[in-house]
Amino acid sequence: MDIPSPLHSRFLGDTLPRIRQDARVAGVAVTGSLAKGRPDTYSDVDLIVVVDDEAYDAVMRERLALIGSWSALVAGFTGEHVGEPRLIVTLVGPPLLHVDFKFVRASDFAERIEDPEILWDRDGLLADSLAQRPPAAAPLDPQWIEDRFWVWVHYGATKLGRGELFETISCLTHLRDTVLGPLAARRVGGLPRGVRHLETMAPEEAHALRSTLCGYDRDEAGRALLAAVDLYRRWSADGDAPVERHRNAEKLAVRYLHDVIGRTTDRSGPAHATA
């Protein structure tokens, strides 16, 4: 495993021996950029702490205290905001380092979207689990996106029309994270994870996404929404899965967006998407 900096190396060198002292822990693995061999000095450390099933509930109650005994814990909180309550998001240090500790039952370790790198395996259980079941990433669901996209476009247009530019900008961020970023990743065979690593994984698509950025400006925000529509139309057509297109919703939502832009922005700006 390629360790990107002395900070990462020191953390792993100090922390792993302490985790191994807990007899309830069956092993430790790492995911993310460290496991993929593409880390840099800004990389997080994504640890999976694999716990014997019978001890799991007790360990979950003690997680923050355990992490504090394993590392110089500065701050930490649980990961419900990303739909992962098994996760503890932390800062350790100083120097500060972002470390995610995910606690999983030994019987659940094989459930994964990609292969981790095993750092320590008490009885060989982790390696056996990975060998018995291949990774299975949740597929991108283009129908799920199509069912929602034009509603989201209309929502962004209403916020633009009302002059709620912070909300409009948030809507654009949501469209990039939930729709355009995953579609961009699909175009290059990557995993759909919002806009993470797009600059290196899909540089052409990342460059195109710049058209969906805007400052606190009505004209810019309107053009960014139109650009999001254009990109969705182009990129959603690339997939092989059959999709039931909501053409009437598309026509009405884009027409509404143009109407709002016509009422609230400088008409001299270019309009990229057509109704």
Does 41 share its domain with 92?
Answer: yes
Does 124 share its domain with 33?
Answer: yes
In a domain, 83, yes or no: yes
79-98: b (≥16 Cβ within 10 Å) or e: eeeeeeebbbbbebeeeebe
Does 100 share its domain with 193?
Answer: no
In a domain, 170, yes or no: yes
Chosen domain end from 80, 114, 132: 132
Q: What CATH number does the domain containing 258 carry? A: 1.20.120
Does 68 share its domain with 162?
Answer: no
Mean pLDDT within 179-194: 92
Q: How confident is the model at residue 268 (pLDDT cuts 50, 70, 90)?
A: very low
Does 126 share its domain with 157?
Answer: no
Return the axis-axis angle of helices 218-236 and 165-175, rounded to nearest 10°: 20
**8 Å CB contact between 59 and 66:** yes
pLDDT in tens, 96-141: 999 999 999 999 999 998 899 999 999 999 999 999 999 887 788 9
In a domain, 269, yes or no: no
Does 168 share its domain with 50?
Answer: no
**8 Å CB contact between 209 and 176:** yes
In a domain, 1, yes or no: no
Q: How confident is the model at residue 267 (pLDDT cuts 50, 70, 90)?
A: very low
Does 255 share its domain with 175?
Answer: yes
Chosen domain end from 112, 132, 152: 132
In a domain, 44, yes or no: yes
In a domain, 113, yes or no: yes
State yes or no: pLDDT of 2 exceeds 80: no
- Which residue range forms the structural domain that includes residue 78? 6-132
In a domain, 146, yes or no: yes
Place of tokens 């052409």: 204
In a domain, 137, yes or no: no
pLDDT in tens, 22-70: 999 999 999 988 887 777 888 899 999 999 999 999 999 999 999 999 9
Domain count within the chain: 2
